[in-house]
Every structure is written in C-alpha cells, then in structure tokens.
Amino acid sequence: MYYNGQDPNLFFNENVPNCPKETKYLGRNLEGYSNVNELPIPLEKYKRIIQTPKIQKILNSIPQWFTPSERAYYLYLELGKILKEDSKFIFSPFDLKIVFYTESINEEFFGICKSISELYACLLDSIGIKSHVIITDTANSIGHVELLIECEDNKKFRANLIADLWRIKAGLKPLEFGRDFPFLIRSSIEEKFGIISTLNSNELDKLNAKMGYIYLPQDEERGIYTNDTIERLAMEFHDEALLKQYVFPQGKEISKNERLKYKLNYLIENLDKLTEFQGKKGDRGYFDEIRYLSFLIRELFCDSDRKRIHFYTVRFDDKPYNVLPIVKVNKGDSLKNNFGENWYYIFDRDLHRFKEISKEDLKKYFDSFDSNSVNIVGNGFDYYPEDLSELELEI
C-alpha cells in the first residue's frame, strides 16, 4: 500500500482521530519495505516548472553565503510554502494510483512524494548540491520516495518534504529534514550511501532562526513556533473562566455534550488568528487544511471528544479533483449516541476554512448532484470508500 507521508516509524496514520484499523496500518508488507533503490533525477522533466515565476523567485532569493546544508534547508522551507499534496492520487484506487504515480508537479504545484522529491532534487542540482532520489518498498509499484542530500563535511541528510508541507504552511516545527530514517531501511541506505547524519532539535531551531522561519530570542535555546501557541491554547481550553468568557455563549446554559461544538466553532473561526501561516492562502491545499485541523483536534481535545469527531472525503461527478472534506460530530456521547444526531462542517473554498452546515442544507447540496455521482472515497486522509449512509443524512 502507498505510504502517504505520515511517520514511517509508526506505519499508521496518527492524525486520524477515528481512522479504521485497516487503514491505520495501510496493509503494508513490512518485509518488502526494507528494499531501497535509487531513481535517476529527471532534469528534463521539470525544466518548464523550474522556469515558473514562483520557482525562479525562490532560487533567486537563496543567500549565496549559506552553507550547502543551509541552502538545501532554505529551499526545503520555501518549497513547503507553495507545494501541495495531490488529493487526486490519494483518493484513487490502486490501479489509478499506478497511472498518477509517474506524473510530474502540475502548474498549480500539486504533487506526490515522487514528483515533489524529483523537483526538489532538480532544484538542488541547479544550485550545485548533489542528492539521491531514494525509493523504499521497491516490491510495491508505488513505493515511497524521498531524498538523501549530500552536504558539507561529508554529511548526508534525509529530506521527506511531502510529510512537512502542512507543518511548514502552519508555522509548526518541521520534523522531516535531517531526521533519522526508519529502522527498517536505515541499514540498507547506509550500505549504499554511507553514514547518515541527523539534526537534533536545537540544531533545527538555529537553522529555522537563520532562515527567518522563527524568532529565536537572544540567549534562548529554542525559538517560537505555532506549536507554542497551541500549547498555550490547550491550557486555556482547560480554564473554565476563559471558556465562559471567550468560547461559550454568554448567559446561556449549555449541556456537557454541546461544549465540544462551541470549542470546535471557536477553533475554526479563529484558525488564521491562532496561526502564523507561511505563504499565501491559495497555496494551502486540501491536505494542508485537513491535517492541521486534525492535529489541533488531537492536541486540544480530550479522548472522549475526539472519538465523536469523524472525517470523510466526498467526491462528486467522479472528477479526481472534485473532493470535499466533511466533518461529522456526534451530538451525544460516542457510546450512547442516537443514530443521525450530528453536527456537520464542510470546507468552504471561498472562505478557505471549514464552516458549520445544517444536516438539511448538506442533504440539499448532495441532492443537487446525480445520486450515483456522490461517493465517500476516503476518511479525510486515505482512500477508504464507504457507503454514503455513513454520513447519516437520511434520519
């Protein structure tokens, strides 16, 4: 099965609050995962994309006095602000994934692990930095692809850019540059390419500060990320006085189960204020939005509340890109919930955020399409077809 950019040390999608077990482990044959091969860098394939204004602006802005590792990381962050993970690939069955797997980055900068790694390698080559395009799980026709970058002092750093796209856009601490390879493939990679170097947390903070990605106060060991804002918000979400003042409606008694709805509404309505988003809104794709919202839910809400929140991906008219993320929230306790009693949220492309929608309005929206052309194709994050009745709109 295709590895979609989550932590390969875990082999399951930790971001999904209610991810079915079958998709958490992605059906991977772990024995084949340890196989590693190097792919050629397709310089001709990306010539046109490299000449686009966005890419040229990035290349021209790289400080020439940076070391090779600093230039590589600067490019990593800047690409992370404009590249988007391709929902067409993720929410397609395996036979179509094979077709889409060989495509390059398109004009809107959508790509998958392979095309994103290829483009990154081409750009590194253009500034004189050598890298290796590595494919793991070679027994799989759509194995995961990432980079190994050769830098100064004979250091070689791993770069798994697709997994950091949503973190970079949200101003979170990137985790996939200079990180160790999963234990299953590290020995195979070192056998082919030599010792792999890693960056510790403090080294990464200093790099991020030098890139202008974060502010690092003088004499402080670490900088300030969006993660810090979320940590403070998590404490405030446990402060009853602050909840009553800023989150819950004034002068109205609300039930225990309703508290979740008001917390979620507050989070969605203030998302842009709580986050130092990197880049422009139009550069944030489906997965940037859905992964970040899921991350916030995991960080801010208790386990019983998280179990009431369900993500779905609905496709319309069988068009690969016409997908809509929908969040269904059980009104009652997940173990005692009456069937069909839910709150709903859909992603508004004009507002560029989620918004609440009534069950009646959501059903009317669905009814405006041919009934055979509306299908659940995923659980928000992975291809996982389900019957449309899972949304419980008929009750």
In this predicted model, what pLDDT tens digit does every residue of 139-169 receive, in sequence order?
778 999 999 999 999 999 999 999 999 999 9
pLDDT at 103 over 50: yes
Task: Give mean pLDDT, residues 60-81.
Answer: 96
pTM: 0.88
Task: Give mean pLDDT, residues 287-308.
Answer: 92
pLDDT at 284 over 70: yes
> For position 163, what pLDDT does the model report?
96
Q: So where are the chain's domains?
A: 21-210, 226-391
Q: CATH for 21-210?
A: 3.10.620
pLDDT in tens, 319-348: 767 889 999 999 987 555 556 689 999 988
Computed over every residue of the chain, the mean pLDDT equals 85
pLDDT at 286 over 80: yes
> For position 322, what pLDDT does the model report?
81
| Residue scoring higher pLDDT (119 or 273) | 119
**Within 10 Å of residue 125's Cβ, how many Cβ atoms?**
14
Helices (H), 35-150: 47-50, 53-61, 68-82, 87-90, 94-100, 113-126
> For position 15, what pLDDT does the model report?
44
pLDDT at 217 over 80: no
Distance, in Å, from the CA atom of 62 to the CA atom of 210, rounded to the nearest integer, reads 12
Q: How confident is the model at residue 195 (pLDDT cuts 50, 70, 90)?
A: very high
**Residue 75 contacts residue 127 (beta carbons within 8 Å):** yes
